[in-house]
Structure formats: C-alpha cells, structure tokens
C-alpha cells in the first residue's frame, strides 16, 4: 500500500538495507538482540483494505494476510490497530491525504479500543505497511500510548513495495532504544498472498523459535524436567513411602 513512493526512494534507505528476495520480495533485518522470542506473545498490527498498489481492491489488507500466516503457525494473541477515521479506499486519495496532510502535519491518528494487558506478554510483534518509506503515523500513536513496550522483546514486520521494513526497526529503536529487538521480516504486498510468502513467514518464525513445533518441543522439555523423585529433608533421595519427604516442591508426611 502506498508503495510506489517506497520504490522511488528505496535508494535513499542506505546500504544497510537487506537484500530483497526476487520471488516473494521478502527481506530480513537483524535487530539489536540475539536468540529467540520467548513467553506469551502478542501481534499488534495495522493494515488497510481497499485499493492497494499492484494488488487492486482487497477486502483484507496486505499486512493482515501476513498476520494470518503468523497466527496459523505460532501461538499468538492478536490486536489490530483500527483507525477511528478510516483511510480513503481509493489509492490516489489515500496517497494525497497521507502526503499532503498526515505526514506534513505530523498527525497522530486515533484508533479504536486498545491493549489493556500488555503486562501479560513478554514478546510483541509490531507491524504494518510501509507508506512512502515509513510506517504509517498511526503506528506512532500506538507506540506513544505504550511506553511499557521498552521492557519487551520486540519483533518488527510488515509489507512493502520494494524498500523492505527496516524503517520499522528504526522506529522501534527510536522509541525504545534499550529494548531487545529481534529479526524483522518484510514481504512484498504484491506477493504476500502467494504460497511462497507463507513459507517465508514460517521459516522466519522457526528462526525466532516461536513456531508451534518449536514451542511444543520447549513445553515438552519443561514438563519432562519436573522431578518426580522424593527427597528427604536433608536433601538425599529416598524411595520409602513413609516418613517426611519432599516431592515437586511439596512436603508430604506418610506414617
């Protein structure tokens, strides 16, 4: 969406921008943290339906399709940022509004509802489209409303028209310079509905260690690690069913 400008200005994004996959338009961008995501996970995203560049009119926006892939392949909760005032459906009208009004006036568009339980999550995906080489201003509205994101593991993602999503990583670093930001993923809006893009998202989730298979293995390992042995109060293992002993952190007294 609004990606024509991204193509034009892509050369201005700098040599640190990632390589673009020729099939899916996928891009990866490393953050400042290493390792996998962990804990309960939330996906926060904004997506615009209507007329999208190189796609035509769609009932679900490009980034919403990418979120569908994430939701299908990882155990996540999802929150959609829905503007109080919808953007124009026509591509040209939306471009005009964003470039002539929203960005020059540095607006912070309001959105409906909000996340009230961010404290429950350790890892938060944050994403959306790229509009003229930058995230939409409504993403800033959300970030400014939630300074507690500074204590989370953040994962940028989104859809674009050729420039990648490094500006999401940069935006998160701008607001939360000390946060742990993991590998970002961008998918071309024109190809996000292709099977290859779904596979690309799945491989990204595996690298992060948050796909359902990886988290199932981690959960099984945790369950298997629980001790079923009995220990006397002096810490020595016991096999007797009588006396005082500790099992799984609880004290038992059998006569």
For residue 157, give every residue at least 6 positions away whose Cβ sits within 8 Å of its Cβ, in sequence order, or none: 45, 66, 70, 125, 126, 127, 165, 168, 184, 185, 186
Measured distance CA(219)–CA(133) in Å, rounded: 40
Give yes or no: residues 163 and 243 share one domain: no
The whole domain housing 104 covers: 4-210
* Residue 87 within a domain: yes
**In 3D, which of 61, 182, 188 has the Cα closest to residue 126?**
182
Query: Based on the domain organization, do 68 and 101 belong to the same domain?
Result: yes
- Decide if 35 is inside a domain: yes
> Is 217 inside a domain boundary?
no
Mark whether 202 and 233 lie in a shared domain: no
Mean pLDDT is lowest, of 72-81, 110-119, 191-200, 243-252, for: 243-252
Q: How confident is the model at residue 91 (pLDDT cuts 50, 70, 90)?
A: very high
Residues whose CB is less than 8 angstroms from the CB of residue 184 and which lie 6 or more positions away in sequence, other chains included: 27, 28, 29, 30, 31, 155, 156, 157, 165, 166, 168, 169
Is residue 60 assigned to a domain? yes
Is there a domain that residue 219 lies in? no
Other C-beta atoms lying within 10 Å of the C-beta of residue 162: 22
Whole-angstrom distance, CA of residue 165 vs CA of residue 182: 13
Q: What is the mean predicted confidence (pLDDT) over 154-163?
A: 94
Quick one: 84 and 196 in the same domain?
A: yes
Q: Does residue 69 form part of some domain?
A: yes
Q: Are residues 85 and 197 in the same domain?
A: yes
Q: Structurally, how many domains does the chain consist of?
A: 2
Q: Judge if 141 and 234 occupy the same domain.
A: no
Compute the average pLDDT of residues 11-37.
Answer: 48
Contact yes or no for 222/209 (Cβ under 8 A): no
Asked if 157 and 241 sit in the same domain, the reply is: no
In a domain, 59, yes or no: yes
Beta strand segments in the chain, E = 27-29, 41-45, 50-52, 56-58, 77-80, 82-83, 111-112, 123-129, 153-160, 180-181, 184-188, 230-231, 237-238, 243-247, 250-254
**Are residues 132 and 241 located together in one domain of the fold?**
no
- Rounded mean pLDDT of the chain? 83
- Same domain? For 176 and 234 the reply is no
Same-domain pairing of 204 and 234: no
Give the percent of the chain with pLDDT over 70.
70
Higher pLDDT, 36 or 183: 183
CATH, residue 186: 3.40.50.360
Considering the domain architecture, whether residues 34 and 70 belong to the same structural domain is answered as: yes
Q: Decide which of 164 and 126 is more confident.
A: 126
pLDDT tops 50 at residue 208: yes
Tell me the pTM. 0.76
Q: Are residues 11 and 48 in the same domain?
A: yes
């Amino acid at each position: 969406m609004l990606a024509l400008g991204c193509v034009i200005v892509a050369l201005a994004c700098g040599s640190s921008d990632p390589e673009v996959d020729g099939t899916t338009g996928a891009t990866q961008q490393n953050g400042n943290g290493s390792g996998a995501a962990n804990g309960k996970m939330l996906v926060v995203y904004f997506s615009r339906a209507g007329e999208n560049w190189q796609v035509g009119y769609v009932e679900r926006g490009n980034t919403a399709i990418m979120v569908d892939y994430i939701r299908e392949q990882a155990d996540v909760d999802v929150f959609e940022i829905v503007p109080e005032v919808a953007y124009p459906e026509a591509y040209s009208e939306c471009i005009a509004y964003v470039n002539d009004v929203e960005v020059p006036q540095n607006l912070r568009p309001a959105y409906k509802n909000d996340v009230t339980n961010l404290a429950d999550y350790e890892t938060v995906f944050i994403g959306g489209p790229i509009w003229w080489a930058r995230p939409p201003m409504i993403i800033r509205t959300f970030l400014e409303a939630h300074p507690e994101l500074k204590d989370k593991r953040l994962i940028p993602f989104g859809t674009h028209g050729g420039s990648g999503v490094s500006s999401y990583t940069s935006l998160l670093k701008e607001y939360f310079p000390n946060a742990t930001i993991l590998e970002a993923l961008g998918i071309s809006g024109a190809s996000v509905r292709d099977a290859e893009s779904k596979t690309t998202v799945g491989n990204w989730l595996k690298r992060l260690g948050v796909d359902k298979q990886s988290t199932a293995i981690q959960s099984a390992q945790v369950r298997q690690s629980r001790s079923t042995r009995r220990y006397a109060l002096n810490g020595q293992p016991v096999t007797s069913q009588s006396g005082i002993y500790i099992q799984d952190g609880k004290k038992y007294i059998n006569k």
